[in-house]
Structure 1
Amino acid sequence: MALNLPGPAACSRLRDLGASVVKVEPPRGDPMELYCPAWYARLHDDIAVRKLDLKEEADRRAMDELLLRADLFVTAQRPSALARLGLGAGALAERFPKLCHVAITGHPPPDEEVPGHDLTYLAQAGLLTPPTLPATLYADMAGAERAVSTALALIIARDRRRPSQAAYVPLSDAANWLALPRDYGLTTPGAMVGGALAGYNIYAAKRGWVAVAALEPHFAAALAEAFGFERLTIDRAATVFATEDADHWEAWARPRDLPIVALRTASLPES
């Protein structure tokens, strides 16, 4: 019963892992179907969509029938909204004792009612570089994967007769998890994978850009040898990469078993 992105993304992953999924939407539908119809369609392939007005008695009974047969209930509403519908954690545990519940929220308790979206979670985690917007919805997608792993853990715990059958999946926690390499200084500017290494960097080619991930010493040594250098440096690598197009370097690297890729520009999938 989760609209927009993290819930449907999580459930599409569960579908790909073999789950049978029923999506319950309000009569007005899911807003994502309007603002991104192609991806909405892909996320809901082989997923049964039911439109139910949970303020109506008949539709509430239909919802109860679904929950009675379900292993897992995924929501992305505030706890207060679920409670008003009679779907709060306490009511679910009492009426559906075999049901596992993953509640995707913006923040962990006691701030689970605080509003937010991907952009604000990334901002709080220090993962934005203004004024540029993120290239993708990092917190939402990481939160979706966290919802999947949490769901599987709950089901395993239930099947092993452990008591825990419900869990919050805060998207802000997912953003904080993504920020850990930066928080520990691994990716800060000038750090090991923050631009200090010649073998782990981005270089301008004659046309385009290349990403070089020769992080391990044997990769860096092989790249230096291929360039005819005793030791690889950023300046030397930049000079060489500037002599050919990015696509050339990707093709050049493949038979040499070197991790070098030309940067792609974003492209929209075919509708």
Structure 2
Amino acid sequence: MTAPLAGVRIIEVGVMLAGPYATMMLADLGAEVIKVEPPGGEISRQVSDSYFASLNRGKRSICLDLAAADGRAKLAELVVDSHALLVNMKPSVIRRLGLTYESLRQVNPQIVCVAMTGFGLDGGDDPAFDYVIQAATGVAAMTGDPDGPPTLPGYSSADNSTGLTAALGLLAMIVAGRGGQVDVSLRDVMLSQLNYRAAAYLNDGTEPRRYPFGAHSYYVPAQLFPTADGYLALFVTHDGFWRSFANEAKVDGFATMAERAARRDEVLSVVTAALATDTALGWEARLKPLGIPAAAVRTLPEALAQTPQAVVTAGAFRLVGSPIRITGYAPDYRPAPALDERSAAQSSS
């Protein structure tokens, strides 16, 4: 079938992760993505070849010095025939380079301009890297052991989440059929993802608290548990799951969620003792057929080995493919572009 975004042309002035991830997701769906890079290349090329490939497959590259009038003029030529421009930089830089709808509407009134920043286009230029945002929005404070320090996850959750949100905003405007400015900030995205935690505080005054092993604030048992070998994630969200688990684990009592929540420490003690009688993989094999949400804690290499269908090849690199599966459509996983590849191709044609 024809790619869902075939015929959609997007200009990316992106750096590092958030912006490039947003446009790569769209390229996987068939959009033509032109990556505008400064002379010398976008900075993530310096991290590693695999890093750059993981965020830029399927794009074209063109080198433009947007600080110079000639570079901005060439960008304007691209804008004329494009549907969207996505940029992630400081607000002052975005405005100085003329990468807003206000600046580009004269060139193309239908252009969708997406600005990804730390705190919004009107939020100032404070540095806003992923971990800084997680600290600033309360995410780090609610993560980790209650007796330990605040904790950050092992991947860039704010950048990735903001990339997906920006892609959603871009597509919403294209579907609407009109040009305009889309303003997406890392701060707002992470606060939005704290939905029920924020609602509990705003409406009930309930502040988030940490529990050992990442336990859920209400559901019991719903956390990581040590086993005879490895750790198991067990997530019992209703009494039916509990009955099935209790029968398999030979645990008595605590029939209702209300009782389990009220007697949390007792429940966790009993469950911990029961799970110590088998390995994490053993419990996973026993509980999954019963429909109980449970999984052994795996390393990334173990998870990838168990999910070979998630791995694709783009040029010389093996990467995790698009998470969006559309019946009848298979993405064309082309390699990440060489620097200024688009200009070189045009010169030789």
CA contact (8 A) 1:125 1:179 kept: no
- Runs of 4 or more above 6 Å deviation: 268-271
For the aligned residue pairs, the C-alpha RMSD in angstroms reads 2.6
- Is 1:178 aligned to residue 193 of structure 2? yes
- Is 1:142 aligned to residue 193 of structure 2? no
Whole-angstrom CA distance in 2 between matches of 1:41 and 1:149? 22
| Pairing 1:48-67 to 2, within 5 Å after superposition | 48-67=60-79
The amino acid of 1:127's aligned partner reads V
The amino acid of 2:32's aligned partner reads S
Q: Which residue of 2 aligns with 1:198?
A: 220
Q: Secondary structure at the match of 1:203?
A: strand
CA contact (8 A) 1:154 1:166 kept: no
1:82/1:196 Cα in 2 relative to 1: closer, same or farther (>3 Å)? closer
Whole-angstrom CA distance in 2 between matches of 1:88 and 1:256? 54
| Pairing 1:154-169 to 2, within 5 Å after superposition | 154-157=173-176, 159=177, 161=178, 165-169=180-184
CA contact (8 A) 1:76 1:103 kept: yes
Q: Which residue of 2 aligns with 1:16?
A: 28
Q: Which residue of 1 aligns with 2:230?
A: 208
1:254/1:134 Cα in 2 relative to 1: closer, same or farther (>3 Å)? closer
Whole-angstrom CA distance in 2 between matches of 1:238 and 1:133? 26
Shift in Å, 1:187: 6.1
Q: Which residue of 2 aligns with 1:221?
A: 243
- Is 1:152 aligned to residue 152 of structure 2? no
Shift in Å, 1:212: 0.4
Q: Which residue of 1 aligns with 2:90?
A: 78
1:132/1:214 Cα in 2 relative to 1: closer, same or farther (>3 Å)? closer
Whole-angstrom CA distance in 1 between matches of 2:96 and 2:174? 26
Q: Which residue of 2 aligns with 1:242?
A: 276
Runs of 5+ in structure 2 lacking a partner? Answer: 1-12, 142-148, 201-205, 255-266, 305-316, 319-349
Whole-angstrom CA distance in 2 between matches of 1:251 and 1:85? 56
Shift in Å, 1:23: 0.7
- Is 1:4 aligned to residue 26 of structure 2? no
Q: Which residue of 2 aligns with 1:99?
A: 111
Whole-angstrom CA distance in 2 between matches of 1:114 and 1:89? 22
- Structure 1 vs Structure 2: percent identity of aligned residues? 27
Whole-angstrom CA distance in 2 between matches of 1:205 and 1:97? 61
TM-score normalised to structure 2 length: 0.69
What number of residue pairs does the alignment pair up?
Answer: 267
Whole-angstrom CA distance in 2 between matches of 1:35 and 1:177? 30
CA contact (8 A) 1:187 1:194 kept: no
CA contact (8 A) 1:79 1:88 kept: no
The amino acid of 1:141's aligned partner reads N
The amino acid of 1:172's aligned partner reads R
Shift in Å, 1:195: 5.2
CA contact (8 A) 1:11 1:21 kept: yes
CA contact (8 A) 1:188 1:194 kept: no
Shift in Å, 1:168: 0.8
Deviations 1:175-231 (A, max 9, x none): 2122333332596346xx635543312110111100001212211221112223333
Whole-angstrom CA distance in 1 between matches of 2:296 and 2:46? 34
Shift in Å, 1:29: 1.4
Shift in Å, 1:264: 1.5
CA contact (8 A) 2:118 2:128 kept: yes
Shift in Å, 1:24: 0.6
Q: Secondary structure at the match of 2:27?
A: helix
Shift in Å, 1:31: 1.8
1:54/1:22 Cα in 2 relative to 1: closer, same or farther (>3 Å)? same
Q: Which residue of 1 aligns with 2:322?
A: none
CA contact (8 A) 2:165 2:184 kept: yes
Shift in Å, 1:153: 1.2
1:112/1:151 Cα in 2 relative to 1: closer, same or farther (>3 Å)? farther
The amino acid of 2:173's aligned partner reads L
**Bigger relative contact order, structure 1 or 2 (CA pairs below 8 A, ≥6 apart):** 2
Shift in Å, 1:53: 1.5
The amino acid of 2:189's aligned partner reads A
The amino acid of 2:161's aligned partner reads A
Whole-angstrom CA distance in 2 between matches of 1:90 and 1:195? 45
